[in-house]
Structure 1
Amino acid sequence: MASGGDILRSESGTWIKAFTRKIGIATNFVAELWAFRDGLNMCLNMQISALEIDLDAKVVADLMHNAETLKNDNAAIVSDCRLLLSQFPQVKVSHCYCEANWCADALARLGCSHVPNFMFLNSPPPCILNAFLSDLYGLSQMRLCPISNVSGSF
């Protein structure tokens, strides 16, 4: 099961608006594209003219900088995202590490647990407040990664 979420912040990092979405069965890549497109639509509906986007999905950020046309199942949503991006007078898309994007990840996880398939949030819900504050103040988070026991010569 996949879900998505995104947050719109002011230039000082304060919460403006966010959303969570239940996507259904999809790959991480497709979920990132859906969340990206939903975030762009939210900003266009709010008539935002200047936008700086930090994505923790490097492949999506790279696709938005690459004009190459895709010839696969994801071509339509990538094309939608590029078209939406072109409607902003000022826009910058950058990659950031997921450790700097805890709030968006928390919103995405929240999307799986919500009854409505899509929900706007005008303030941070208590269950993601710590993630929001960590991002706001630039606090680093520990990320545990499994260690594999590989033997052999290098």
Structure 2
Amino acid sequence: MKLNTDGASSRNLRLARGGVVIRDEEGNWVIGYARKIGSANSFLAVLWALWDGLFLCLQAQIHAVIIEMDAKAIVDAFSHQKNSNSIIFSLMDDCRQLVSQIPQSRFRHVYRKANRCADCLAKLCTSLDADFTVFSNPPVDVFPFVEANCHGLYVNRLCLEPMFAV
């Protein structure tokens, strides 16, 4: 399975939101969500989205997952576990605990264009009434990106760095 997560924060209103997509090995939609996080910077928004995505993987009993994010700083933080920031330590520690419960997991940094589904869900959240919305099928705004991925038309511009296993 593949887990894509993204978070965003509005500079003016400081309203953070997150998006998560889980897809199978063929790129087909399994589940996704959009969530309003509240007042937070974009780094924390991305971490909350990661936490939610990992929790969703555990609920779905996913035992092998590639976690793709366009937030290089967070991918690096998981590869260098000794480096930590006391402000985000507890949330990072919670994410590490969730990852440790998934038997096979790897983090991979991807460019933003390869993370469009999760990015679109995070942005879509601002127009939703509910604070947390689960999608068993892709929303209309996200559907073109999912279809492109399934047909091999997506932008697969991966970063040339090694993947980090946790």
Report if TM-score (shorter chain) is over 0.5.
yes
Give the secondary structure class of the aligned counterpart of 1:139. coil
Give the gaps of 5 or more residues in structure 2.
Answer: 1-14, 157-166
In structure 2, the partner of 1:91 is 105
Q: Deviations over 1:37-91 (max 9, x none)?
A: 0000000001111111111111111111121152421111011111111111111
**TM-score, scaled to structure 2:** 0.80
Structure 1 residue aligned with 2:81: 67
Match of 1:24 in 2: 38
Match of 1:101 among 75, 97, 115: 115
Is the 2:19–2:35 Cα contact (8 Å) retained in structure 1? yes
Contact 2:77 2:83 in 1 (8 A): no
8 Å CA contact retained: 1:23, 1:31:
yes
| Higher gyration radius (CA) | 1
Normalization by structure 1: what TM-score? 0.86
Alignment size in residue pairs? 141
Residue 118 of structure 1 corresponds to 132
Bigger proportion of residues as helix: 1
2:154 corresponds to 1:139? yes
More strand by share: 2
After superposition, the CA RMSD in angstroms is 1.5
1:102 and 1:135 in contact (8 A); partners too = no
* Cα deviation 1:11-38 (Å, max 9, x = unaligned): 1110000011001121110000000000
5+ residue gaps, structure 1, are 142-154
1:38 to 52, 61, 66: 52
- Listed one character per residue, the Cα deviations across residues 88-118 of structure 1 (whole Å, up to 9, x for unaligned) are 1111111000011111100101122211111
